[in-house]
Amino acid sequence: MGPTRTTRPRRAQDDRDPAGPAPGPPPGPGAPPSEHAALDPRKAAILQAVVAEYIETAQPVGSGHITGTPGVEVSSATVRSEMVALERDGYLTQPHTSAGRIPTDKGYRFFVDHLGRPGALGAHERQEVRRFFAHVHGEVEELLGRTSGLLADLTDYAAVVVGPGHESATLRSVQLVGLSPRLALLVAVLADGAVEKRTVELAADTSDDVLARAAAHITAHVRGTPLARPASVPDGRDGALGGAVRAGVEALSQLGAAEEHEHVFVGGSSRMAAAFDAVETVRSVLSILEQQLVVVELVEQILDRGLSVAIGAEHGFEPLAACALVVAPVQIEGEVAGTVGVLGPTRMHYPRALAAVQVVGEQLGAHLAGGRGGSEPEGSEGGDARGRARRRGVGRGR
């Protein structure tokens, strides 16, 4: 299933660090710091080992599976005792009396907060990202749709790409295309690659030659100015030419003042079927992805809270309680102008997901800013995505 889009008003090779997650920064907003601080180094190492093992196998983890891993060089009986304590403190749960234990949302939160670094994409994935942004062409809508597919391929989760705003994008050119003697189509091409269109009603019969001259006159005055605030254009002409200029300028001003829209692209939603055992959970998640509006609101709320990961009930939306969201901002010249993210089960490969959304977000921002992706994509330390820019959709009026 290819990426889908909505408009609304305003496995890759396992590349986990073999050394496992290292102690990292203080816990984030998802869990009280005092609770995390209560874990001694051995309990922390056991919890991290359980989470990492469960992410890989999807099977309850017994003490024998993690005894002898880094930081857990103690007897199996000691590990069992510590796992009981971790269960009592809410980090682990035991699905069946005779089974091992699995992480709770609180356990995943500890794991994410203490990763130290998000992981790194493998060499094949880095090459795939480089090649994608070096060769992708077309209008912004096509770029965003294909980017959601790229992110889904990198992570094996559903990917969400919220289109960057361009209310401040500058005009590159204006064209007037005749549709009938008294009707034309104004096409505004923006510097960020977006294309805006609006029909223009003309007061008199107007030839293609006059329309071309009117468009050249408008372009000469508005080129390099923002769509939301185009420079004034004197008509200074009588007859059909002056009328065409006035009509074109009016249509351009309506484009700049039109109600904002967001375009959202979802790729890889069909992959969710393989991520959950419960059929009802799959149906619920796919239903939300089809609406898309809710997912966009969740992404914005996560960014507003300064988070890059929301796990289970942390996002406050019950139908997605079995899911985790990993997001990263798309920045253009230092301004947050969009979002990329992945939606998957709480048993998500967080290091890989964090690396993928950060790299793709950075490369998408560089590409939209006019670059070719810049330096070689690498996994790097994730940071809190704070704030968000107001967004206007691309390709409005299609």
Residues 186 and 234 in one domain: yes
Residues 221 and 265 in one domain: no
At 38, list the tokens. Answer: 């209560």
Residues 83 and 139 in one domain: no
Residues 67 and 101 in one domain: yes
CA distance 284 to 16: 30
Run of H or E including 341: strand 335-345
pLDDT of residue 19: 32
Among 113, 128, 151, residue at a domain's last position: 113
Examine residue 82 and state whether it is found in any structural domain, yes or no. yes
Examine residue 20 and state whether it is found in any structural domain, yes or no. no
Q: Name the 3-class secondary structure at 301.
A: helix
CA distance 187 to 48: 55
Q: How many helices (H) does the chain have, and how many strands (E)?
A: 12, 11
Within the chain, which residues score under 50 in pLDDT? 5-35, 371-376, 378-398
Run of H or E including 352: helix 350-368
Query: Which residues are bridge partners to 178 per DSSP?
Result: 184
If you search the block for the tokens 């356990």, which residue do you land on? 107
Query: Which residues are bridge partners to 6 per DSSP?
Result: 264
Residues 314 and 291 in one domain: yes
pLDDT of residue 165: 57
CA distance 83 to 62: 9
Residues 176 and 295 in one domain: no
CA distance 23 to 115: 6
Examine residue 26 and state whether it is found in any structural domain, yes or no. no
CA distance 61 to 298: 31
At 306, list the tokens. Answer: 């300064």
pLDDT of residue 386: 31
pLDDT of residue 10: 36
CA distance 148 to 145: 5
Question: Identity (one letter) of the amino acid at 35?
Answer: E
pLDDT of residue 3: 60
Number of domains within the chain: 3
- What is the DSSP track for 127-181? HHHHHHHHH--S-HHHHHHHHHHHHHHHHSSEEEEEPPP-TTPBEEEEEEEEEET
Run of H or E including 241: helix 239-257
Residues 268 and 160 in one domain: yes
CA distance 107 to 147: 31
Question: Identity (one letter) of the amino acid at 290?
Answer: E
At 133, list the tokens. Answer: 């942004």
pLDDT of residue 118: 63
Residues 89 and 205 in one domain: no
CA distance 37 to 35: 5
Residues 74 and 129 in one domain: no
Q: Per residue in 273-282, is it b (16+ CB within 10 Å) or e — as a string?
A: eebbeeeebb
CATH of the domain at 273: 3.30.450.40
Residues 267 and 361 in one domain: yes
CA distance 166 to 228: 9
pLDDT of residue 21: 35
Residues 346 and 359 in one domain: yes
Examine residue 377 and state whether it is found in any structural domain, yes or no. no
Residues 269 and 128 in one domain: yes
Q: How far is CA 250 from the centre of its chain?
A: 35
pLDDT of residue 84: 94
CATH of the domain at 219: 3.30.390
Q: How far is CA 72 from the centre of its chain?
A: 36
- The bridge status of strand 323-332 relative to strand 309-311 is antiparallel
Across the beta sheet with 183-190, the strand order is: 171-180, 183-190, 195-201
Q: Considering the entire predicted model, what is its pTM?
A: 0.68
User: Residue 212 is part of which domain span?
Assistant: 171-257
